[in-house]
Structure 1
Amino acid sequence: MPSVGNIFTKPKVVLLIATLCCLLWGSSYPAIKNGYALFGIAQADIPGKLVFAGYRFVLAGLLLLAIAIATGKPAFGLNLRKIGQLSLLGLTQTAIQYVFFYVGLAYTTGVRGSILNATTAFFSVLLAHFIFHNDKVSARKALGCLTGFAGVLVVNFGQGLLDFEFTLLGEGFIVIAAFILSAASIYGKRLSQDMDVMVMTGWQLAIGGIFLLFAGLAFGGTLSNFTPISTALLVYLAVLSSAAFGMWSLLLKYNPVGMISIFNFLVPIFGTALSALFLNESILEWKNLLALLLVCGGIWLVSVSPKASR
């Protein structure tokens, strides 16, 4: 019987799970937008958005921890060192990067935010090159990253793409958020080597969510208008976060960071397509199809070894 590690290194399994994670994260784009409308959160109400995110991630973390306990995993009894590590991971991967991202998004356009957030894959590949001896940047991997990034540019073509400017509070904060997420993901990979992934992900989501919740409340944020529909949407966002982060952490544990990070380019593609679908717009445009082809080409270049491709 194959071990868990062997299962999660099979190319077809990696492809299926990584794509599913990106599809779930992509679906959060229209879901969050609808959530803001249902809960009455204004566009410039950053404290309200932090409270909304806090509820989402606390629920996601508690859900994973409940599953961990139900399946007999060691969710409690952590020593001070583990608690400190999980707190650092939660503050960086969930809370601090989220704050930078949403502050940045308030000072730039959604198009620029989508493009610059895709730099997460570049940062992950570069950081992995210097940290892991078996995850070096090759010409093929660099070409794959550039091809995938070209797909992100194409999907945003015609929406003010050429109208580019750079400010610290706007585009700068988006890039900082991408770097923090990349570094935190690599740190999480290190922690997962001697910690159950479900327990690790549950705690980091819950801790990060608590930080966001209290930060939002401290600056005057509130969350009201709880209805069956808005509550169901919040629960959906929590479920997708717990599922996507949990599966993604498993992939990072057993695979090179560069091979998994390239799939991040799918998130804005799915996000754009699903947003168009739920807004009754056409998704069968040439730019969307070309973008998907480019991203898939980039994934293939990074994921398939030269020997296998021959």
Structure 2
Amino acid sequence: MSATSKSDALSVLSLQQFFSRPRIVVLLATVCCLLWGSSYPAIKNGYALFDIAQGDIPGKLVFAGYRFVLAGMLLLAIAVISGKPAFGLNGRTMARLSLLGLTQTAIQYVFFYIGLAYTTGVRGSILNATTTFFSVLLAHFIFHNDKITPRKAIGCIAGFAGVLVVNFGQGLLDFEFTLLGEGFIVIAAFVLSAASIYGKRLSQGMDVMVMTGWQLGIGGVFLLLAGYAAGGTLSGFTPMSTALLAYLAVLSSAAFCIWSLLLKYNPVGTVSVFNFLVPIFGSALSALFLDESILEWKNLLALLLVCSGIWLVTRVAPKKNSG
């Protein structure tokens, strides 16, 4: 083995050891969920600043398209500056990246936005949390080292209970199910979980930053084309609205890149359970920016349930003595 090959192997091993440390997983996954949670009030403010009406799905797709194209361009620019092979990829690799971008970014967002137009934000938040269940279930059948255990199942149920609690009293018991509404939210959750597992496999053979940059950029282009084709537009660019769009792009690039790194070096179930934190952070940050009380019993109980679920799933079982 050449000196360069040994150096590359040591570098990969060092990355794997770093991103698979339990404390690092907890810290980085929580940061990702905090960033995604902050997108809830940021997107809502973005709609107001860009004058996008509540039912204007094409306009929302164009808005999302700009966000993800910018996020992808940012990551690819950083990759090039870092000396990573971001361009000149072969046709087979680009086809796989296009499939990942189409599913993980474009298709799931189309289903999600249409679903939200036909249901309430509360129901959307709850049903979107089923992404974790789909991820854990799919990983059980795909990866031999990521099987469902009683502890993992209880942890997922506790996390989902936390999502229910944070939405308690907001029409939670008034639940209906329609294909265009709740059905599309569930489909979006399934598409995202399946695409994330596909991305985990794809990341084993290429740089995660490059992979994430391309999938975000390609997915963003699909969203732009779909939005404009349906008659959507985006106007009202001001320093404030542009800064908000830039923030959404930065949080997307950072969160998706870090999340993909965690998925690359850890079991899917261990990482996916943190998704339950997204609606918790989203609810808390939305209340904070809307001058509402976030220290309500339901928010604290929800956080306790979600953290308990995460602890159950990520806790390393003690090794049994062989003697």
TM-score class, shorter: over 0.9
Cα distance in structure 1, aligned partners of 2:318 and 2:281: 30
What letter is aligned with 1:42?
A
What letter is aligned with 1:160?
G
Asked whether 1:131 is paired with 2:142, we answer yes
Alpha-carbon displacement from aligned partner over 1:214-237 (angstroms, at most 9, x marks no partner):
110011100000000000000000
Asked whether 1:305 is paired with 2:316, we answer yes
Cα distance in structure 2, aligned partners of 1:229 and 1:199: 30
- Higher Cα radius of gyration: 2
Q: 2:37 aligns with which of 26, 29, 36?
A: 26
TM, length-normalised to structure 2:
0.95
Q: 1:151 aligns with which of 162, 171, 175?
A: 162
Asked whether 1:230 is paired with 2:241, we answer yes
Cα distance in structure 1, aligned partners of 2:122 and 2:93: 39
Cα distance in structure 2, aligned partners of 1:219 and 1:262: 35
Cα distance in structure 1, aligned partners of 2:256 and 2:202: 14
In the TM superposition, residue 306 of structure 1 has moved relative to its aligned partner by 2.7
Asked whether 1:285 is paired with 2:285, we answer no
Unaligned runs of 5+ in 2: 1-9
In the TM superposition, residue 177 of structure 1 has moved relative to its aligned partner by 0.1
Asked whether 1:296 is paired with 2:315, we answer no
Indicate the percent of aligned positions where both proteins have the same amino acid: 82
Name the Cα RMSD after superposition. 0.8
Give the match for residue 107 of structure 1.
Answer: 118
Query: Which 4+ residue blocks in structure 1 deviate beyond 6 angstroms?
Result: none
SS of residue matched to 1:223: coil
- Aligned residues between the structures: 308
Q: What are the residue-to-residue correspondences of 1:1-310 with 2, within 5 Å?
A: 3-307=14-318
Cα distance in structure 2, aligned partners of 1:194 and 1:281: 46
Cα distance in structure 2, aligned partners of 1:258 and 1:15: 13
SS of residue matched to 1:307: coil
Cα distance in structure 2, aligned partners of 1:91 and 1:219: 17
Unaligned runs of 5+ in 1: none
Cα distance in structure 2, aligned partners of 1:115 and 1:215: 27
TM, length-normalised to structure 1:
0.99
SS of residue matched to 2:318: helix
Cα distance in structure 2, aligned partners of 1:295 and 1:189: 24
